[in-house]
Structure 1
Amino acid sequence: MGFQYGLSGMNAASKNLDVIGNNVANANTTGFKSSRTDFTQMVGSAVGSSSNMFSGQGVSVGAISQQFLQGNVSATGNALDVAINGNGFLQLELADTSTAYTRAGNLQIDKDGQLVNRQGAKVMGFKTDPATGDVISRKPSAITVPIDKGIVGQKTSAITAKVNLDAAASSYEAATNTPSYTTYSSSFDVYNSQGEATPVNLYFVKSDPAIPNSWEVHYQVDNSTPFAIAAGNLLSTVTFNNDGSFKTATPPVSTIPFKEADETTVIHATVDLKGLTQFASRFSVSKLSQDGYASGDLNSVSIEPDGTVYARYSNGKSQSQGQLVLAKFNNAQGLVSTVGGNWIETPSSGKPVTGTPSSENFGSLQSGSLEESNVDLTAELVSMMTAQRAYQANAQTLKTQDQVMSTLVNLR
């Protein structure tokens, strides 16, 4: 029986060396999780024997445990690289449509515009509203970026102005144009249905002193059109409360007209002036925006810390293309490793619970970075020497047992 004990020890030590060797080999593999060999004693006893008659039968490998400790996060500068900082796995759809999970976030865009990992597996995410980024479907699906087309221009329908008008400003005198009507002014572009820009100027002139806390807002569409306050386009007359806050606008709803591409059809963009104030401070424009934009080409794709994938265009606009899904398991030790550094679920791992990064108990994403292998090379080398000594000691057990048997056989 002594031969079996030594042989079981050699087999266990050999398996341990295999596990250590695999750890060392993957010390530079992105998202790799090291494993540990767990040993268990083999015990045998005769039927009906007393408790003090149990005899050891050697050792066996009880389990190969994966160590899901956080690896170091290193910056790469690649916008499509993501590191998971905390709990969770990226969800993948493999070529055979089966599902796998990974911690390796070195992603890329394939020829069809789909977000994939380095093995070509599709990275799954929740569908989102392109404009707001809000999740509109909790069913994971592939994330696709429209690489073959840009963003279509959108016409302007609403304009928002947030401007402070200097309470100490002098009233405007049309006869002498003092202070000049351009003193308090700002400009922006509006867009027709084809995304063609038309410049618009806004002029703010203080009303006659007989009408306190009152300003006129004039507009000019297209700089090539001659403009003068006397014959200009009055957008609205705005009055303010004594504390400088907005009071009324006459008319309550005002619009700026401009032309479509056919130079005939007129677009009316509504202007919101409720953000105007009159404080005793210098003239300042904090916001002058509109909801239209020009056409644009795809410039880049980026991933935010919450997993939202944005396509960024040459016109300065960004559109959400989806939000990465993270999955977690009640028993991550039950996951089985597969090719490409991926894991697949098993009955032991349980079903995955999915969610978005930085929510609930899920980790956050760090874009432009990758999670390194969590292998500690120093510790692995020490374990390797220990396993080697264990193998040699068990081999010595076999050798000694052989010598004992030879002595017994040679007795006369």
Structure 2
Amino acid sequence: MSFNIALSGVNAAQKDLDVTANNIANVNTVGFKESRAEFADVYANSIFANSRTQHGQGVQTVAVAQQFHQGTLMFTNNALDMAINGSGFFVMANETDTLDRTYTRAGAFKLNDQGYVVNSMGRYLQVFDANENGTPTVLALNATKPLRIPDKTGEPRATTAVNTGFNLPSNAGIMDPADFSPTDSRTYNASTAITIYDSLGEPHSLNMYFVKEADGQWQSFTYVDGNLVQQGGNDSAPIEFDASGNMTTPAAPATLTLDNITFANGAQPIANMEIRLGTVSQYASPFEVNELSQNGSTVGRLTKVDVDANGVVAATYSNGRTEKLGIVALATFPNEQGLIPDGDSQWRQSLLSGEGVGGQPNTGSYGRLNGAALEQSNTNLTSELVDLITAQRNFQANSRALEVNSTLQQTILQIR
């Protein structure tokens, strides 16, 4: 019996050494969570035995429990690196079209050859679809999809509206609109320009010229690529002000509508483009433009990717557009220690862990997401070295117990 007791002690010490060695080996593994060997004594008794004189029968390993406390954050220069500060796991998938999910705290991500965000093992980071206000459309783990970052925005968008606001000088000289020529600055009082886009994404110059024909009365001429664009069948559109400098014509909502705009490159004509007049005034101050924008865009190339604390992944493109590509999905479990290790610092759901629940970072009990950061291993090297010495001493002590048992039995066998 004593042989078995000592042998169980040797096995337990070996298990403790194995767990400690694994923790030490992964001290620099991103997202690694240390483990702890847990033991219990072995005891057997019957109703006919004297429990006061019964001894134990050794030791057994009851669990190798993972410790999911927070690791130290290390900041990097990679925008796709992510670290969870708090509860939750990143949701991963082996394929783009599978519902099989694994979970990890290792946030070292990169792009593959198809633009998907993957980890070093090629598994795909899962995200929720995002609304315009940065909230998920659906909060469910089976509704997540792989995060893909396109290197361009897609199809160009033709300009259909220009937003502008300006002040026309009330003390400007009066001119005859019949003498207006866009090539002669002496025939108009003020002008401004903006770049618009056709259906092919090609840029064009839209110029607006203003001619004061009487006190409080102006005419607006619009040209695209040097060609006059009519407004309501006329060459120009009136803009009028009252004695306080407030615009009265056109009436609110103040809009100038351009007739059909055609292009020489074969792009689709733009019908009824709106010049939306915001804050337009006529004061005794110089001509000043306080607003000028348009809603078209050309094809843009990826310039930057950002991930905020709420997990919103936003891509910025060279044409000025910013697109929300998704929200990084996090998962929590009723019993984290019930997760089954899957290697590569990843885990799988089990009956002991309970059902995973998906959520958005930085909401409720879900941790905050840090972009351009990694969570380091939570292994405390000093503690592990002390544990290593303790396990070694336990192993030696149990080995000595085996040796003593062997000596005693040898002595008994030599009795004649």
Per the shorter chain, which TM-score range?
A: 0.7 to 0.9
Checking the alignment, whether the CA contact within 8 Å between 2:117 and 2:147 is kept in structure 1 is yes
Distance 1:239 1:258, change over 3 A: farther
Q: Distance in 1 between matches of 2:277 and 2:118?
A: 46
Q: Which residue matches 1:19?
A: 19
Report the AA paired with residue 188 of structure 1.
I
Q: Distance in 1 between matches of 2:64 and 2:32?
A: 15
The answer to whether the 8 Å contact 1:84/1:103 transfers is yes
- Of 133, 147, 153 in structure 2, the residue corresponding to residue 143 of structure 1 is 147
Give the TM-score normalised by structure 1. Answer: 0.81
Alignment of 1:378-389 (within 5 A): 378-389=382-393
Q: Which amino acid aligns with 1:158?
A: A
Does structure 2 conserve the Cα–Cα contact (< 8 Å) formed by 1:239 and 1:249?
Answer: no
After superposition, residues 181-220 of structure 1 pair within 5 angstroms as: 181-182=189-190, 186-202=192-208, 218=220, 220=222
1:342 aligns with 2:346: yes
- Deviation per CA, 1:351-387: give whole Å up to 9, x if none: 1100122222212222222211111111111111111
Q: How does 1:132-171 map to 2 (within 5 A)?
A: 135-138=136-139, 139-147=143-151, 151-161=154-164, 165=167, 170-171=170-171
SS at match of 1:43: coil
Asked whether the 8 Å contact 2:239–2:247 carries over to 1, the reply is no
- Point out the more displaced range, 45-54 or 380-389: 45-54
Deviations for 1:250-286, whole angstroms, at most 9, x for unmatched residues?
2433234572334894533223334457899998655
Q: CA deviation at 1:171?
A: 2.6
Deviation, 1:300, is: 5.0
SS in 2 for 1:55: coil
1:221 maps to a residue whose letter is: Y
2:74 aligned residue: 74
Q: Give the superposed CA RMSD.
A: 3.6
Matches within 5 A, 1:388-403: 388-403=392-407
> Structure 1 CA distance, aligned partners of 2:85 and 2:14?
34
Q: Show the 5 A alignment for 1:5-404.
A: 5-49=5-49, 51-95=51-95, 97=98, 98-128=100-130, 135-138=136-139, 139-147=143-151, 151-161=154-164, 165=167, 170-175=170-175, 181-182=189-190, 186-202=192-208, 218=220, 220-222=222-224, 224=226, 233-234=236-237, 236-237=239-240, 250-252=250-252, 253-257=255-259, 259-262=261-264, 265-276=269-280, 287-299=291-303, 301-404=305-408
Q: Tell me the matched-pair count.
A: 394
Q: Distance in 2 between the 1:86 and 1:284 partners?
A: 51
* Per-residue Cα deviation, 1:7-50 (whole angstroms, up to 9, x for no partner): 21211111011011111111111111111111212222232445
1: CA distance between counterparts of 2:212 and 2:12?
A: 90
Q: What amino acid maps onto 1:156 in structure 2? A: T
Shift of 1:226: 9.0
Distance 1:326 1:260, change over 3 A: farther
* Equivalent-residue separation in structure 2 for 1:354 and 1:63 (angstroms): 28
Normalising by structure 2, report the TM-score: 0.80
Gaps of 5+ in 2: 177-184
CA contact (8 A) 1:128 1:320 kept: yes
Identity of paired residues, percent? Answer: 34
Runs of 4 or more, structure 1, over 6 Å off, are: 203-209, 277-284
Name the CA shift for 1:206/1:342 in 2 (closer, same or farther; >3 Å). farther
* Unaligned stretches of 5+ residues in structure 1: none
Contact kept in structure 1, 2:174 and 2:213, CA below 8 Å: no
